[in-house]
Amino acid sequence: MTTPRRLWLCIVLIVSGIHLMPASGETLLPKASTAVVTLDVFSGRPNPTWALSEQRTAELLHRLQALEPTKVETPEFDGLGYRAVRVELQQPGNGAAVVTAARGLVTLDRADERVRYTDAGRQFELWLVNTGSDQLPPDLLRYVTGEIASKPR
């Protein structure tokens, strides 16, 4: 097992309250963690936020696990308009991890550790934004997904 994989598994175990289900193979599923997504897009008003269901949280972790680690850094965009989508994973007593997707990179921050992953075609970012499709005004969703699609890197 490579070092990033070990680190990832470690984080998943700590943050998400994993339990193993040997009957169906080694399926890793979060049990009691909460995952709150924030769309960093507004200046004046509070940013839109929504919670992920347990199923969506599990999918998030599986998608994250499938990304390739990278050492590449890209400058953040922090001007007016859509900047990033962020999800905060919380497990009472075990701290938090923050996953940020922007501009083709996914960054996992926990305590003092930071791991970066390549998000080819910004598919992870797009998926995460679309988990809010029931909560976000259609015009805003269209704008954000349009921004992502127009700048694949």
Partner 1 sequence: MHLAFDMFSGRPSPSWRVPSHLARRVFELVADSGLLSPHGLGPKLKHLGYRGAEIILPPELVIRYRVSPWLWLPPNPITDLLLFRELESIIRFVGFLGMDELLRILRLIIELLQKAGTPRTPPSPGGGGGSGRCPFETLPYDPGPWNDPAFKPTNNCYAYASNKRAHYPDKPQPGIASGAMFTSVTAADVSAATKRDGAHDAGDCFPDSEAPRLLVALVIWPGVDYHWYRKHPDFWGHKPGSTDARNIDNSGNVITNPQTCDRGPYTEFYGYMLMPRSQKVAA
| Distance of closest approach, residue 66 Cβ to partner 1, in angstroms | 30
The footprint of partner 1 on residues 6-35 (CB under 8 A) is: none
The footprint of partner 1 on residues 115-144 (CB under 8 A) is: 137, 139-140, 143
The footprint of partner 1 on residues 37-56 (CB under 8 A) is: 40-47
User: Tokens at residue 139, please?
Assistant: 């015009």
| Distance of closest approach, residue 137 Cβ to partner 1, in angstroms | 8
Q: Cβ of 18: how many Cβ atoms within 10 Å? A: 17
Q: In what order do the strands lie in the sheet with 113-118?
A: 49-51, 34-40, 84-90, 96-102, 105-110, 113-118, 68-70
* Strand extents, DSSP E, 46-95: 49-51, 68-70, 84-90
| Site stretch for partner 1 (CB under 8 A), options 7-15, 51-59, 75-83, 122-130 | 75-83
3-class DSSP state for residue 96? strand
Q: Cβ of 114: how many Cβ atoms within 10 Å? A: 11
| Distance of closest approach, residue 38 Cβ to partner 1, in angstroms | 10
75: contact with partner 1 by CB under 8 A: no
- How far is the C-alpha of 124 from the C-alpha of 68, rounded, in Å? 12
86: contact with partner 1 by CB under 8 A: no
| Distance of closest approach, residue 46 Cβ to partner 1, in angstroms | 5
CB nearer to partner 1: pick between 22 and 44 = 44
| Distance of closest approach, residue 152 Cβ to partner 1, in angstroms | 19
* Strand extents, DSSP E, the chain: 34-40, 49-51, 68-70, 84-90, 96-102, 105-110, 113-118
Interface residue list for partner 1 (CB under 8 A): 40-47, 78-81, 83, 137, 139-140, 143
